[in-house]
Structure 1
Amino acid sequence: MKKPEVTEQPGGDPPSRRGRPPEPIGEDVGVAHRTWLEPVRDRLVASGLTLDELVCRSGYSKTRLSELLRGKGYYPGWEITYSVVKALDLPPWPLRRLWTAAAREADKNQGWIENRIRAVQPLGPELPPVAHLGLTQIMRGPYTAYARAFLQSENRAQRAVGETFDILWLTWDEAVAVPDTPRHAWQLLRARVMSRAAQQDGHPDLRQAAFATVAQAGIADLAERKTRIDTMADFFDAIARLPQDQMDVIVLRHLCGVRAEAVPGIVGLTPAMTHTLDHHARGALTGLYLRTGTTVTIDTLE
Structure 2
Amino acid sequence: MTPSSVPQQPSGEPPSRRGRKPESISKKAGASHRAWLEPVRNRLRASGLTLDDLVNRSGYSKTRISELLRGKGYYPGWEITYSVVRALDIPIWPLRRLWTAAAREADKDTTWIENRIHEVQPLQPEEPPLPHQGFTEDMRRPYTAYAHAFLQSDRRARWVIAEVFDILWLGWDEATTSPDVRRHAWRLLRSRVMLRAHHHDGHPDLRAAAFTTVAQTHSDDLADRFAAIGELADLFDVIGRLPEDQLDVTVLRYLCGFSQDSIPVVVGLSPVITHAMDHHARGALERIYRHDNPGVITP
Q: TM-score, normalised by structure 2?
A: 0.93
Aligned-partner SS, 1:107: coil
Matches within 5 A, 1:131-142: 131-142=131-142
Tell me which amino acid in the other structure corresponds to 1:76: P
Aligned-partner SS, 2:261: helix
Where does residue 42 of structure 1 map in the other structure? 42
Where does residue 113 of structure 1 map in the other structure? 113
Q: Distance in 1 between matches of 2:265 and 2:55?
A: 44
Choose between structure 1 and 2 for higher RCO, CA contacts under 8 A separated by at least 6 residues: 2
Percent identity for Structure 1 against Structure 2: 64
Q: Distance in 1 between matches of 2:176 and 2:169?
A: 10
Where does residue 185 of structure 2 map in the other structure? 185
Tell me which amino acid in the other structure corresponds to 2:292: T
Structure 1 residue runs of 5 or longer lacking an equivalent are: 7-16
Aligned-partner SS, 1:150: helix
1:53 aligns with 2:50: no
Structure 2 residue runs of 5 or longer lacking an equivalent are: 8-13
Give the CA deviation at 1:126: 2.1
Aligned residues: 289
Where does residue 235 of structure 1 map in the other structure? 235
Where does residue 296 of structure 1 map in the other structure? 293
Q: Which shows bigger deviation, 202-211 or 281-290?
A: 281-290
Q: TM-score, normalised by structure 1?
A: 0.92
Q: Distance in 2 between matches of 1:151 and 1:65?
A: 35
Where does residue 219 of structure 1 map in the other structure? 219
Superposition RMSD in Å: 1.5
Tell me which amino acid in the other structure corresponds to 2:147: A
Where does residue 14 of structure 1 map in the other structure? none
Runs of 4+ in 1 over 6 A off after TM superposition: none
Tell me which amino acid in the other structure corresponds to 2:15: E
The structure-2 alpha-carbon separation of the partners of 1:223 and 1:101, relative to structure 1 and needing over 3 Å to count, comes to: same
The answer to whether the 8 A contact 1:35-1:98 is kept is yes
C-alpha distance after superposition, 1:128-147 (max 9, x if no partner)? 01111110000000100000
Give the CA deviation at 1:244: 0.7
Give the CA deviation at 1:61: 1.4
Where does residue 173 of structure 2 map in the other structure? 173
Q: Which shows bigger deviation, 256-265 or 191-200?
A: 256-265
Matches within 5 A, 1:7-18: 17-18=17-18
1:5 aligns with 2:15: yes
Tell me which amino acid in the other structure corresponds to 2:109: N
Q: Distance in 2 between matches of 1:191 and 1:70?
A: 21
The structure-2 alpha-carbon separation of the partners of 1:143 and 1:19, relative to structure 1 and needing over 3 Å to count, comes to: closer
Where does residue 125 of structure 1 map in the other structure? 125
Q: Distance in 2 between matches of 1:228 and 1:188?
A: 34
Aligned-partner SS, 2:262: helix
Give the CA deviation at 1:185: 0.3
Q: Which shows bigger deviation, 277-286 or 132-141?
A: 277-286
